[in-house]
Amino acid sequence: MKSQESRGGRIRLVVAYDGADFHGFARQQGLRTVQGVLEDTLSNMLQVPILVHGSGRTDKGVHARAQVVHWDQPYGPPADRVVHVLRNRLPADIIPIQAREVDSEFHARFSVVRKTYRYALYRKPIPDVFTYRFSWHVAEPLNLAQMRLAASELVGEHDFTSFCAVAAPQENKVRRIYRVELQEDRDGNLYVFCEGSGFLQYMVRIIVGTLVDVGLGSINADAMPAILAARDRAASGRTAPPHGLCLWNVEYPTVYGGRVLDL
């Protein structure tokens, strides 16, 4: 790969992936992960060890429309060729979308100012073989008005201990949520968009699972403030399955281009 046209520096890459056959983003010994595949591919391509940093970890089975990664390379293809080169080397379930050169101050994770996740619910009576890898099949009728009322209580800065894994590694459970929005398409399928400064382990999936419990009538919408105040995972609802969740967008300061993809 090394040539007179090759150059070093920091490369930022946006990738999409189907998470169904990955054990999450973060490298794990002996398991297929997104970070592991990217690092192995880049290291083989450049013939030097490459460490990839991601904007955040996605769990096993979770997808991404706009995961952002960066790495430092002593030499290699310029950013305008990275996408083409990697498309010929990466497996079909990881798609490189765009790349750019960034300065050494940029960090895929620590430079993030907000993230957006989308959760998809397929609501027809019979599951669809073409969407089951990317959506949660919920055939029972949902009260969307009550779900939207409950969702509105989550906007703002709160301690989200009730909405994260008991073993979540972060000590500080306070996060700022900018929106929790429910959108229906013409076929009646439901999409829950969660946008915030950052998220805890399983946080979006527990929010969605709790909202579904509200829609089914097993949790009252007006109970959300009390659930937040409890700071107890047992107070909230179920954890939605991972395959309906997708890292939808990542936003950086304007100097680094703002949102990485158009919504």
- Residues forming the active site: 59
Which spans in 15-165 are helix H? 34-46, 79-87, 144-152
* CB-CB neighbours of 251 under 10 Å: 22
Cα 63 to Cα 22: distance, rounded to the nearest angstrom: 9
Cα 262 to Cα 255: distance, rounded to the nearest angstrom: 17
Cα 106 to Cα 94: distance, rounded to the nearest angstrom: 23
Residues 6+ away with beta carbon under 8 Å from 168:
200, 201, 202
β-strand partners of 15: 67, 96
Residue 219, classified by CB atoms within 10 Å of its CB into exposed (0-12), middle (13-18) or buried (19+), is: buried
Cα 29 to Cα 249: distance, rounded to the nearest angstrom: 28
CB contact at 8 A, 162 and 228: yes
Which spans in 29-78 are helix H? 34-46
Cα 194 to Cα 244: distance, rounded to the nearest angstrom: 13
